[in-house]
A = this chain, B = another copy of it.
Amino acid sequence: MNSALTVNDGIEQPPMVNPHVDGLFEKRRQPLPAVAEYVRGIREGNITMLSRAITLIESRRPDHQPMAQKVLAACRPFSGNSIRLGITGVPGAGKSTFIEAFGGMITARNHRLAVLAIDPGSERSKGSILGDKTRMETLSADPRAFIRPSPGTGSLGGVARKTYETVILCEAAGFDYIFIETIGVGQSEIAVHSMTDFFLLLMISGAGDELQGIKRGVMEMSDLLLINKADGSNMEKAIQAQAQYQSALHLFPAPPSGWTPHALTCSALDKTGLEDVLQEIGNYVTLTKANGYFEQRRREQARYRMYETINENLQNTFYNNPTVEAKLADLEQQVANGELNPYDAAAQLLALKSD
């Protein structure tokens, strides 16, 4: 572009923005940085700039979208070099403690770690970052770590898209391990699985009730079953559980990666077994980079994301249509009550599209 606004590094300046813009930085009322400023800050590993860029990308304001896309586009060439780890587990499995301990081990080895927590259930306010920082106290004070919750958007698949874009920004900022944590409900594991290299399921010993929170099918998509709380009087039970899961894993269909998932134990509290987890991930990466699966999977994820983006866009356009929105809940209720069949309900809603 020949615009006078074009700066040295070739990244366009954004259109003029109102410095008293509402919504995005309500408390500070700072002007939005220029695209080049975002990108330079991100590339320098400036956490404040990274955070603001993520907030920009999460923004629903249509006038933020062009700039968000430019920031992303400028960061994309610097992305792709992390190990992306999906972590799920039932409430009570000790995910926060595990991420603290395991994350701390990773940063102690001079790696930089970003932790993205998906919370599909609630529309979190920005203030809840504090909540995540409290539950991972050591890691949040660690200069090599960055903790960021992804707000649940409530939209179909919306969670996944923003999180994936956040991965790109974090990679551009030089993070070489990215944890995507999900709380184990609904579609979030599938979304996380579609954007990570390795999927870790954190469990606790004993088989039964504590598994109720895990969606069926999640165990089978895991690359590692990790039984936490293998400590104190719980040790024996954890080792038994490990043996049971290990033999169950043999019965599962072989994953296309050529990788054989294992069951391991650890204690996030005592910080034991964590080296083995890192080793396991390393072995997986070595194997799948050698057999081509690592790259193939990322490319399939990119194709998948293209379709996801299209389908999300089609659905958002449809379901955000005010006429559709006004009718949807009522018709859905009629279908659930058996008063209306699903096809007629769909046809009635689709007919509103062109209104």
Contacts and interface: CB of A to CB of B under 8 A. Distances in A.
B250 A207 contact: yes
A302 B311 CA distance: 21
A306 B318 contact: no
A212 B253 contact: yes
Contacts of A16: none
User: Quick one: which of A207, A300, A306, A338 has the most chain B CB within 10 A?
Assistant: A306
Nearest to A337: B299
Contact of A69 (B221, B314, B343): B343
> Interface residues of A toward B: which range?
35 or more
Interface string A206-239: 0111011111111111000000000000000000
Contacts of A252: 211, 216, 219
Interface in A295-316: 299-300, 302-303, 305-311, 313-315
A350 interface: yes
A342 interface: yes
Interface stretch (A36-44, A100-108, A170-178, A241-249): A241-249
A128 interface: no
A55 B286 CA distance: 52
Interface stretch (A6-14, A111-119, A328-336): A328-336
A303 B328 CA distance: 11
A318 B306 CA distance: 14
Given A314-B315, A315-B311, A336-B299, A345 B251 contact: no
A56 to B, nearest CB: 15
Contacts of A207: 250-251
Contact of A310 (B251, B341, B350): B350
Tallying the copies of this chain within the complex gives 2
Contacts of A5: none
A282 interface: no
A195 to B, nearest CB: 11
A17 interface: no
A254 interface: yes
Contact of A253 (B76, B219, B331): B219
A221 B216 contact: yes
Contact of A254 (B76, B211, B350): B211
A212 B254 contact: yes
A29 to B, nearest CB: 30
Interface string A314-329: 1100100000000000
A83 interface: no
Given A343-B72, A346-B313, A216 B217 contact: yes
B216 A253 contact: yes
Contacts of A244: 247, 251
10 contacts: A69-B343, A73-B341, A207-B250, A211-B253, A215-B253, A299-B337, A306-B332, A306-B346, A306-B349, A314-B318
Interface of A: 69, 72-73, 76, 207-209, 211-221, 244-245, 247-248, 250-255, 299-300, 302-303, 305-311, 313-315, 318, 331-332, 335-338, 341-347, 349-350
Given A207-B251, A208-B250, 16 more contacts: A211-B251, A211-B252, A212-B254, A216-B220, A216-B221, A217-B221, A219-B251, A299-B336, A302-B338, A303-B335, A306-B345, A307-B346, A309-B342, A309-B347, A310-B350, A311-B315
